[in-house]
């Protein structure tokens, strides 16, 4: 087991490059199962979740070759299994993304209950709804077994705008007979990336970027050469890191349109940035004071499905708010366990009232002190990393596997911009 040792209290400064979008890489790897031709994926981040997804791809019979940094050649010509390995499924929720492609290729998939972050209940019902609408039958036991003779198009209304359920439905519908309409579809940038990749493979999809996808099924999909976009969650995390430490940061490769939903939330904390092309600049001089609502009311930062403020950045703005003058309400509406990490911030000296599993009132600024911490999930782990870098004194972060599932080469990248962090064996 490894841990991070951090000496905090120092501002970061310099330039950092955004990695490829983790949440686009995972479904795109699964989508390579839809064809027996070679798929080339570019800008793939070197993170644990990607490595697990590639292991599943290999276990199903696919071939994987890394040709250069961030570039992989995938070939699924000889699929010999429809069973997602339990040891991989328990570690990553995205393993469920193989369900749609395997149904389309083999007519069957055996899926153990997927694992991943423990941030509250994460329903599988919407996946079942979408796949059964397309003709699949499901049997429940220790694993879920889906079977289908022929995928047939359907008019699907998802009961929630689930990202992974939308992706599973879209991948299946590409090879269903007829024209499928998916309403209340998720439209996040990573969903758009997957749809664009599918189109590059020969799929016929309209409505990309909206909550209604229309997909005309085709008999066969081909290989493609596709580059995924930048990880806007990582970009938002780095913005938070620069602001909390009162540092200056240039973030290269940022997709500015993807970070737009975060603008108003950070602005409520007195934090702004500039951009030129794909370089985002977080200046050193920030107001760092809560902008009250009209009438002097305490403002609220709350998450919502795209294009609302991303839930994955809720943990990040919570830490940043501890360093800002004033009071703000953080309302996490989507996951009932995501805010429980604030107990660790309170232990570091933050002034936070956790009202209930969804709401926290934060008054700042607070002088944080180093502590021994355990990362509960990817985003809360990164938030604790920011808190430790901001805090005075030394901190230890354990269970760093959870952080490295979503962030690439953090020690070297953060050290290069002034963070005093080392990785060590426990």
Residues annotated as catalytic (active site), given as ranges: 117
Q: How far apart are CA 364 and CA 271, in angstroms?
A: 14
Q: How far apart are CA 37 and CA 27, in angstroms?
A: 17
Q: How far apart are CA 84 and CA 70, in angstroms?
A: 25
SS3 202: coil
Residue carrying the six token digits 């502590």: 371
Parallel, antiparallel, or unpaired for β 179-183 and 212-216? antiparallel
CA distances, 384 to each of 191, 192, 203, 255, 380 (Å): 28, 30, 41, 25, 6
Q: Which residues, 6+ apart, have CB-to-CB distance to 57 below 8 Å?
A: 29, 30, 32, 33, 64, 74, 76
Q: Which residues, 6+ apart, have CB-to-CB distance to 146 below 8 Å?
A: 99, 103, 108, 109, 111, 131, 136, 137, 138
Q: Indicate the DSSP class of residue 201.
A: T
């Amino acid at each position: 087991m490894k841990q991070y040792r951090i000496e905090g209290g120092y501002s970061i400064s310099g330039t950092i490059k955004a990695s490829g979008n983790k949440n686009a890489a995972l479904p795109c790897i699964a989508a390579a199962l839809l064809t027996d031709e070679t798929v080339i994926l570019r800008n793939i981040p070197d993170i644990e979740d990607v490595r697990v997804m590639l292991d599943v791809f290999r276990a199903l019979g696919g071939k994987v070759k890394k040709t250069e940094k961030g570039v992989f050649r995938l070939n699924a010509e000889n699929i010999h299994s429809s069973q997602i390995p339990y040891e991989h499924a328990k570690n990553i929720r995205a393993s469920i993304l193989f369900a749609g492609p395997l149904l389309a290729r083999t007519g069957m998939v055996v899926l153990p209950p997927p694992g991943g972050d423990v941030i509250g209940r994460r329903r599988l019902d919407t996946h079942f709804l979408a796949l059964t609408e397309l003709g699949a039958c499901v049997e429940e036991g220790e694993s879920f077994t889906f079977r289908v003779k022929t995928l047939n198009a359907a008019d699907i209304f998802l009961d929630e705008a689930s990202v992974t359920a939308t992706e599973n439905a879209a991948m299946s519908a590409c090879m269903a007979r007829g024209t499928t309409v998916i309403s209340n579809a998720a439209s996040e940038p990573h969903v758009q990336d997957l749809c664009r990749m599918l189109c590059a493979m020969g799929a016929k999809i309209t409505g990309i970027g909206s909550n209604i996808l229309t997909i005309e099924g085709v008999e066969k999909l081909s290989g493609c050469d596709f580059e995924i976009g930048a990880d806007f969650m990582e970009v938002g995390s780095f913005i938070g890191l620069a602001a909390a430490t009162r540092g200056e940061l240039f973030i290269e490769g940022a997709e500015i349109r993807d970070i737009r939903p975060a603008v108003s939330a950070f602005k409520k904390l007195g934090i702004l940035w500039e951009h030129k092309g794909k370089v985002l600049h977080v200046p050193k001089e920030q107001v760092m004071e809560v902008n009250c609502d009209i009438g002097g009311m305490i403002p609220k930062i709350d998450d919502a499905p795209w294009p609302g403020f991303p839930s994955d950045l809720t943990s990040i703005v919570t830490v940043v708010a501890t360093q800002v003058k004033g009071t703000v309400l953080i309302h996490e509406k989507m996951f009932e366990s995501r805010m429980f990490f604030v107990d660790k911030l309170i232990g570091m000296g933050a002034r936070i009232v956790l009202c209930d599993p969804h709401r926290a009132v934060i008054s700042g600024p607070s002088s944080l002190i180093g502590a021994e911490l355990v990362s509960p999930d990817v985003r809360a782990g990164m938030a604790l990393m920011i808190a430790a870098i901001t805090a005075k004194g030394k901190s230890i972060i354990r269970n760093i596997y959870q952080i490295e599932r979503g962030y690439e080469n953090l020690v070297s990248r953060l050290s290069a911009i002034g963070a005093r962090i080392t990785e060590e064996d426990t």
